[in-house]
Amino acid sequence: MIMLLQTGTQAAPPNELIYVWSASTAAGKTIIILLGVLSIFVWSVMLQKAFQTRQARKLNKLFVDEFHQHEGVLVIHERNIHVEGCPLFNLYDNGCRDLLGRLKTYGNEGELGSEQYATLKTMEHVKRTIESDVAKESLKLEKGLILLAIAVSGAPFVGLLGTVWGVMSTFTNVAMLETASLQVMAPGVAAALGTTVAGLLVAIPSMVGYNWLVHNLRVFTVELDNFAQELASCMENEFLKDE
């Protein structure tokens, strides 16, 4: 009866994560904290980029629908509006500004019958401006991905460093104590493996988020290129005149 009561009052085993943390050395705890901070930055970047790409996709669709409803290229630009977070609008707006700055006019400006036109040389300059804006918008969308790439490639190695360090420390203690019992080795080895787990917990979500974002950025880049060609074609059809 006494044995049953003693068995029933045994303390529950500690949580394995808490046990690993308590058994870790100062170096192991430092590496885990470093990986935890890196994980916070990684998740903040992934959430921010996910929101940015979602908003950009929605605004791009609305802008393209609006653009196709008008016959004149400069109609939207003349309304003097600004759409924050829309890559296609930024591309369009900068292209229209450059075009207006290079247009020539038949006769005196403001006279009846005066007409603005562009030459082949003018359109070449405008096309280069639009292509430059495509690259700039792509770089804006790619901003922050370097942190995910660093986490994907670096976090496992940081975790492995902690594991190797922990195993080295464990075997050093075994040598100093001159005993190789399970009670001596198990806590150190478990704590050492904990840093590898921490590294993988940072690297795996980073890899998934990085691949997903890269795919979306490739889609955005294709959309920017296609719209740039369409915009340049519309400008040529409306304003291009042979000198």
65 with 86: CB under 8 angstroms?
A: no
Task: Report how far residue 40's alpha carbon sits from residue 28's, in angstroms, rounded to the nearest whole number.
Answer: 19
pLDDT at 10 over 70: no
Task: Report how far residue 128's alpha carbon sits from residue 156's, in angstroms, rounded to the nearest whole number.
Answer: 43
pLDDT category, 232, cuts 50, 70, 90? Answer: very high
Q: Of 243 and 173, which is predicted with more confidence?
A: 173
Task: Report how far residue 85's alpha carbon sits from residue 93's, in angstroms, rounded to the nearest whole number.
Answer: 13
40: Cα within 13 Å, side-chain hemisphere:
5
DSSP string for residues in 152-186: HHHHHHHHHHHHHHHHHHHHHHHHHHT---HHHHH
Per-residue confidence (pLDDT) for residue 242, from 0 to 100: 62
Percent share of the chain, pLDDT over 90 = 46
Task: Report how far residue 141's alpha carbon sits from residue 49's, in angstroms, rounded to the nearest whole number.
Answer: 8
Does 35 fall in a domain?
Answer: no
Q: What is the mean pLDDT of residues 160-183?
A: 81
Q: Of 170 and 5, which is predicted with more confidence?
A: 170
Mean pLDDT of the chain: 84
Task: Report how far residue 190's alpha carbon sits from residue 76's, in angstroms, rounded to the nearest whole number.
Answer: 64
Closest CA to 77 of 243, 242, 220, 238: 238
Task: List Cβ neighbours of 85 (8 Å cut-off, separation of 6 or more).
Answer: 52, 55, 56, 59
Percent share of the chain, pLDDT over 70 = 88
- The three-state secondary structure class of 98 is helix
Q: What is the mean pLDDT of residues 51-71?
A: 91
Q: What is the mean pLDDT of residues 198-221?
A: 92
Does 63 fall in a domain?
Answer: yes
Task: Give per-residue pLDDT as tens, 183-196.
Answer: 767 877 888 888 88
pLDDT category, 14, cuts 50, 70, 90? Answer: low
pLDDT at 1 over 50: no
Task: Report how far residue 199's alpha carbon sits from residue 35's, in angstroms, rounded to the nearest whole number.
Answer: 7
Q: What is the mean pLDDT of residues 147-169?
A: 90
Does 202 fall in a domain?
Answer: yes
Q: How many domains does the chain have?
A: 1
Does 49 fall in a domain?
Answer: yes
Does 4 fall in a domain?
Answer: no
pLDDT at 240 over 90: no
Q: Which residues pair with 106 in a beta bridge?
A: 115
The identity of residue 139, as a single letter, is L
Q: What is the mean pLDDT of residues 70-89?
A: 87
Task: List Cβ neighbours of 64 (8 Å cut-off, separation of 6 or more).
Answer: 88, 227
Per-residue confidence (pLDDT) for residue 22, from 0 to 100: 77
Per-residue confidence (pLDDT) for residue 13, from 0 to 100: 55
Per-residue confidence (pLDDT) for residue 3, from 0 to 100: 44
Please tell me whether the overall predicted TM-score, pTM, comes out greater than 0.85 for this model: no
Does 193 fall in a domain?
Answer: yes
Does 136 fall in a domain?
Answer: yes
pLDDT category, 230, cuts 50, 70, 90? Answer: very high
pLDDT at 209 over 60: yes
Task: List Cβ neighbours of 20 (8 Å cut-off, separation of 6 or more).
Answer: 190, 191, 194
Task: Report how far residue 109's alpha carbon sits from residue 140's, in angstroms, rounded to the nearest whole number.
Answer: 38
Does 50 fall in a domain?
Answer: yes
Domain that holds residue 203: 42-239
Counted residue by residue, the chain has a size of: 243
31 with 158: CB under 8 angstroms?
A: yes
